[in-house]
Structure 1
């Protein structure tokens, strides 16, 4: 129980000193993983993209590079991660190309059908209700948009349950991809 609490405060919903340390560790390991997921989103330079559970902001940084004429929004349920991600993305935030907020997957502060794509990496396993969070992603992504739900092998998430969770959230077309022990499900809205 103590170890679970410690890991949750460090990586699941980073909080306090442990959360800051967890963010620094995550920022060193997420770059290549984020690049792999983003490459399969097949983004256009002017796309609008949402990241849920952006952690230390590595994915948001890579997304901003992938959509230089677009916009990246993000929400994360950890104030520690919002702070770290805002520092990492300060220039793009200053340019108005990135906006990072505190928030939850099942309550995205956005109108319907605003984003061309959305992604979440190593986040869904700590959402209170995975299907509710996925429904929110479906709500805010435009028709024909893509949602990527990705996990590293450290997440403890089962690859086999992803297609059913996405179907329960209303997604029709789902495909999965692997990179070693890491995996991602891509779903069309």
Structure 2
């Protein structure tokens, strides 16, 4: 039988997952607000590592409250920014945060430049092969049911020569050990680690 301490830790872990891991319900909405306020500086450090061009086609997996989507939409100004998140609450928050960018691009009818946010899982991305030339996941991979399956699926939808960034803040609880090896095993090349005081990022090429 579980001890009282173990039961308590299990409850805490469950609450944290609802807030930050796979946000759900009222706690998930609250978690999204907290993430939007606390993760922006780290996100602004990560995105330039991808060397995004104005016409880049970018995929973000686990976009949360949509802070990175907002930055990416301005950076890939004539390209496309597409996000997938397993939390319906985060899809709603990110859509609200990026409503102007979504509406503006749709009005301009820039087919390649429409911001699209999808509810879905990394293990089954709703896209054809070889589409994106950049992909990003911040504080996301540690809650994927199958990390290797997720990486292989991201690689499938990336174009040859595309660049991927897996980034984690210090609060994510993710170790950097073995991540470059995982990317290599998933079929990526030139996997390497970059660190900052706030966390770290692993970069690789398809």
- Shorter chain as denominator, the TM-score bin is over 0.9
Query: Structure 2 residue aligned with 1:25, among 34, 39, 63?
Result: 34
CA distance in structure 2 between the aligned counterparts of 1:80 and 1:148, rounded to whole angstroms: 24
Q: What CA deviation, in whole Å up to 9, does each residue of 1:61-102 have, x standing for no partner?
A: 111111111110000000000000000011122223210010
Q: Secondary structure at the match of 1:68?
A: coil
Is the 1:30–1:59 Cα contact (8 Å) retained in structure 2? Answer: no
Query: Structure 1 residue aligned with 2:151, among 97, 115, 134?
Result: 134
Q: Which runs of 5+ in 2 are unaligned?
A: 1-9, 107-113
Q: Secondary structure at the match of 1:110?
A: coil
Q: What CA deviation, in whole Å up to 9, does each residue of 1:88-134 have, x standing for no partner?
A: 01112222321001011111111111011000000000000001111
TM-fit CA distance, 1:23: 0.1
Query: Structure 2 residue aligned with 1:146, among 156, 163, 167?
Result: 163
TM-fit CA distance, 1:153: 0.5
User: 2:176 aligned with 1:167, yes or no?
Assistant: no
CA distance in structure 2 between the aligned counterparts of 1:93 and 1:165, rounded to whole angstroms: 34
CA distance in structure 2 between the aligned counterparts of 1:62 and 1:31, rounded to whole angstroms: 9
Question: Which residue in the other structure is 2:86 paired with?
Answer: 77
- The structure whose Rg is larger is 2
Question: Which residue in the other structure is 2:12 paired with?
Answer: 3
- Point out the structure with the larger helix share: 2
CA distance in structure 2 between the aligned counterparts of 1:63 and 1:134, rounded to whole angstroms: 21
CA distance in structure 2 between the aligned counterparts of 1:100 and 1:65, rounded to whole angstroms: 16
CA distance in structure 1 between the aligned counterparts of 2:13 and 2:130, rounded to whole angstroms: 37
TM-fit CA distance, 1:181: 4.2
Q: Which runs of 5+ in 1 are unaligned?
A: none
Superposition misfits of 4+ residues, deviation over 3 angstroms:
none
Query: Structure 2 residue aligned with 1:122, among 118, 126, 139?
Result: 139
Paired residues in the alignment total 189
User: 2:201 aligned with 1:184, yes or no?
Assistant: yes
Q: Secondary structure at the match of 2:63?
A: coil
CA distance in structure 2 between the aligned counterparts of 1:114 and 1:91, rounded to whole angstroms: 25
Query: Structure 1 residue aligned with 2:76, among 61, 67, 70?
Result: 67
CA distance in structure 2 between the aligned counterparts of 1:48 and 1:153, rounded to whole angstroms: 28
